[in-house]
Chain A
Amino acid sequence: MTTVDPTATMRRAPFPIFGKVFTDSWRSLIGWGLGLAAASALYLPLFPSMSGDAAMQDLINSLPPELTRTINYDQIGTGAGYAQATLFGLIGFLLMSIAAISWGASALGGDEESGQLELTLAHGVTRVEVAVQRFLAMAVKILTLAGLTFVLVWALNGPSELDIEPQNLFGTSVLFGGLILFTGSVAILCGALTGRRVWAIAGGAAVAVIGYVFNAIGNQSPDLEWLHALSPYSWAFGANPMTSGADWGMVAVFYGLSLLLGAVTALVLRQRDIGV
């Protein structure tokens, strides 16, 4: 038989809700990191062959201009424009949006839907603590991946002859992280509002997809440029931060809005009946 010592109690970890997110999902964090690394290693080294090669330029010129504007390939003449269009604006944006939406959706909505949030809340934690720590855990994961993207591009900058200004790369990575954090924050809030994973995914996906689509349509003609104002994607990349530097006011908007959404998430969760 095991002996129970009534005087000695088990040690308790600080910030248990925050820590649990990482013990549960470190595999997924590594997986998304590997995905980003693979995408960077595939795309960026192609730049020298694309910029130097007249045939490649001809190919891009022969594409319908609507298409090149849609996928932002009108910028790929420079290393900075190429990295922004291919990695930050397309494949990296896609990977990171999916990661952030799935983390945001499972943080509260998915956890409530599965019935596990009920048991957590029956213990010695407040709902605000749970919401805030899970929001912060999601933010840390997103910023880790944004930081990884910065490191990857920075490491490939020389070998791939991209010629990107490091401070512009840094600013773009911060903006990129802010855009993705905003998407994830909408997902976590929608999950807290509804208690359903699917609505959380829908909310986050709406920000990512509508943002991308409005940017693409807005690129097509000056008459449609007003759509850029409704596109978080365009707020981040419309001013070509890789070439001309990040707008730090916009950085503040993304992080400020995300924190606001995190605070609203905590208040919403505090009011609701859980698991009904």
Chain B
Amino acid sequence: MSHVGTAEAPQGRGVASVADPDAAIEAVDLVKKFGTSLALAGVSFSVPRGSVFGVIGPNGAGKTTTMRALLDIIRVTSGRATVLGTDSRNAGPELRRRIGYLPGELILEGRTSGRRLLKHYVDISGPVPRGKIDELAERFGLDLDRPVRKLSKGNKQKLGIVQAFMHQPELLVLDEPTSGLDPLMQQEFLGLVSEAREAGQTVFLSSHVISEIQQAADVVAILRGGKIVTIASVEELRQSAIRHLRMMVTGVSPAELRALLAPLDGVGNLECTRNSAGTTEATATLGGEIRPFIQAISTLALTDLVLEEPDLEESVLRLYTVPNAAGPNGDVS
């Protein structure tokens, strides 16, 4: 089945039982308590240098808490995180100069223009090449001379993206980076991310839009209730994702068809009915590999078969809600 690691089963890939010195981020068993509530319940993952690592999960899953812990804005209760080879806790300014950060709730205020605000961040960031700010602003169609407080949410977000990328950091930590951006600008942003990867930069980003993660990320972690439910490559997620199928068969009764299909691995929500034309119709969802299914139906007299593109969103949503979800590979009932 697919090669996934889970928080409960640390033998999988991406789980840091052995520290990887080449990793951009190495998080080991991060636990964060706020009073009595547990925001992170043992999060472990590893982000290889030069890769794009996406985190998805419902609100309150711990995405923002994880990112803030990496930036030393909050301190974890236990566990540790190594960022670019340095322990993130009480890390000095040298480490953060090598990181670009975009907070999830970006708040920018003040009378000053976007240009002056960015100049301030230049003063406290890593070295920014001359002309870089203007290049990024042009790319996003951002007017740097307007007062920050008069900017729309989308334009503030663009300002946030510029300050995260302008010093060409080795690591980008981006919390919901496309929120507030229109679809055109989202594409521009995804272009920026893939350029960053080509330039050898590492990107750690969160999103609630699965299609965006699918497009940008090499590896996806799904976070729920302060735990990583699964870490898998986008390709693995896609393979294990649920497909919807519909088929028409002649010569078998609904009961016979059910008896054939129901025992197959990964088949769910099976419904078999006889329609008015006398053919038998079956609809079902199919998770995991499709070969056993294809072999099972090869003897049937099919008149129609529709096997849809795997729906990543649906399989991810299922992981959000199913208790004790173990993986995306269809072994969850």
Contacts and interface: CB of A to CB of B under 8 A. Distances in A.
Interface of A: 1-10, 12-13, 16-17, 19-20, 23-24, 114-116, 118-126, 129, 273-276
Contacts of B72: 121
A122 B96 contact: yes
9 contacts: A5-B131, A10-B119, A115-B106, A116-B107, A116-B108, A118-B103, A121-B71, A122-B99, A273-B75
Given A5-B129, A12-B123, A118-B103, A24 B75 contact: no
B68 A123 contact: no
Given A19-B123, A273-B73, 20 more contacts: A2-B135, A2-B138, A9-B128, A9-B129, A10-B130, A23-B112, A23-B120, A24-B111, A115-B107, A118-B103, A122-B71, A122-B73, A122-B96, A123-B101, A123-B121, A124-B124, A126-B93, A129-B93, A273-B74, A275-B73
Contact of B109 (A2, A9, A114): A114
Contacts of B34: 276
Contacts of A19: 123
A124 B96 contact: yes
B3 interface: no
Interface string B134-161: 1100100000000000000000000010
A121 B34 CA distance: 20
B13 interface: no
Given A124-B97, A273-B73, A2 B131 contact: yes
B96 A123 contact: yes
A9 B75 CA distance: 33
A120 B124 contact: yes
B208 interface: no
A1 to B, nearest CB: 7
Contacts, number: 106
Contacts of B111: 24
Nearest to B94: A124
B141 to A, nearest CB: 13
Contacts of A126: 92-93
A57 to B, nearest CB: 49
B66 interface: no
B120 A121 contact: no
Nearest to B173: A122
B126 interface: yes
A205 B42 CA distance: 43
A9 B93 CA distance: 18
B130 A118 contact: no
B73 A121 contact: yes
Nearest to A119: B103
A24 B93 contact: no
A8 B107 contact: no
A103 B68 CA distance: 27
B110 interface: yes
B254 to A, nearest CB: 57
Nearest to A270: B90
Contacts of B99: 122
A119 B129 contact: no
Which 5 pairs from chain A and chain B are nearest by CB? A16-B123, A115-B107, A124-B97, A124-B93, A273-B74
B9 to A, nearest CB: 30
Nearest to B75: A273
B124 A123 contact: yes
Contacts of B120: 16, 20, 23
Interface in B224-281: none
A4 B168 CA distance: 12
Contacts of A274: 68, 73-74
Contacts of A1: 135, 138
Contacts of A118: 68, 73, 103
Interface string B51-93: 0000000000000000010011111000000000000000011
A118 B108 CA distance: 11
B315 interface: no
Contacts of B112: 23-24
